[in-house]
Amino acid sequence: MTLSSTTPRPLVAGNWKMNGLSAALDEARAVAAALDQKPAAARVAIFPSALLLHRLAETVEGGAVLVGAQDCHGKASGAHTGDVSAEMVVDAGGTMVIVGHSERRTDHAETCAQVAGKVEAALAAGLEPIVCVGEPLEKREAGQAVTYVVEQIRNSLPASLTGQAFNVAYEPIWAIGTGHVASIDNIVEMHAAIRAELVAKFGEQGKVTPILYGGSVKPDNAREILAAAEVGGALVGGASLKAKDFLAIIEAA
């Protein structure tokens, strides 16, 4: 997908992680129906498990909800048991993909170089990536959070993103699924540093690339977070599982 020249709408992305059986399709259906009734200012995307992706894409087809995968492999096909290729995501009806989520960097020891390879694969298949970065608690406590995240940006975003639609998500690891939200000052400082790096790397395009915040975004804190400088949307885990909560966050964008 190529880049539009205008400033993108905010993106509110729901990452279902390893949650959601068939019944969860009703939640996606409810989100789609609500957006049909009252269109949102934000773009909205849901990232279900790979097994639900196809059915979810069929469920929301023709509506405002975009669908994506939580990961893709860096290769187009081959002997990679249990993995899903970017082309398979497209084939199943997805248009986006999350890459480099901290849970994958931790659980599967994914490196920035591998994340960059996944971005390349996603672009080759025509997917719009959300590239996740974020520091662990010890880096934050050591005063090294910004340096750590900027390094992740440098090494996880390949030059081939130039001219392509993509998003960055800043997700401090200590804020994911913990109920501890980064302070607005922390968010603004980090988003400014990411913006500077994006501009250094991608020029004019880097000025408008959406930078999402993720980490315990809930209906009661979404408005303040989404109004902060350089916050171009939210990557939402737990609160995206229930249509009511997710819609309240979408409404705040």
| Positions marked active-site | 101, 171
Nearer to ligand PEP, 48 or 215 (CB): 215
Rounded Cα distance, 72 and 85, in Å: 5
**x/- map, 142-171, ligand PEP, by CB under 6 A:** -----------------------------x
* 104 is a site residue for ligand PEP (CB under 6 A): no
Q: How many amino acids of this chain bind ligand PEP (CB under 6 A)? A: 14
Closest to ligand PEP by CB, 3 vs 182, is 182
Long-range contacts (CB closer than 8 Å, 24 or more residues apart) made by 83-87: 84/50, 85/121, 85/125, 86/118, 86/121, 86/122, 86/124, 86/125, 86/127, 87/125
Query: Which H helix or E strand runs over 42?
Result: none
First to last CA, the chain: 23
Query: CB of residue 162 vs ligand PEP: minimum separation in angstroms?
Result: 26
**Distance of closest approach, residue 225 Cβ to ligand PEP, in angstroms:** 11
Query: Which residue, 103 or 230, is less far from ligand PEP as judged by CB?
Result: 103
What are the C-alpha distances in Å from 160 to residues 44, 105, 185?
Answer: 25, 22, 32
CB of 112 to ligand PEP, least distance (A): 18
Using CB under 6 A, which residues numbered 196 to 235 contact ligand PEP? 214-217, 235
CB of 213 vs ligand PEP, minimal distance in Å:
9
The residues in 73-102 that bind ligand PEP, with binding defined as CB under 6 A, are none
For ligand PEP, give the closer residue by CB, 3 or 190. Answer: 190
15 is a contact residue toward ligand PEP (CB under 6 A) = yes
- What's the closest the beta carbon of residue 16 comes to ligand PEP, in angstroms? 8
- Cβ neighbors of 112 (< 8 A, separation 6 or more) are 100, 151, 152, 155, 156
**CA distance linking residue 107 with residue 51, whole number of Å:** 19
Helix (H) or strand (E) holding 141: helix 137-141
Q: How far apart are CA 196 and CA 128, in angstroms?
A: 22
Interaction of residue 238 with ligand PEP, rule CB under 6 A: yes
* Encoded tokens for 75: 């290769």
Instruction: Pick out residues in 105-134 that bind ligand PEP (CB under 6 A).
Output: none
Rounded to 10 degrees, what is the CA torsion of 116, 86, 43, 194?
Answer: 0
Interface with ligand PEP (CB under 6 A): 15, 17, 171, 176-177, 214-217, 235-239
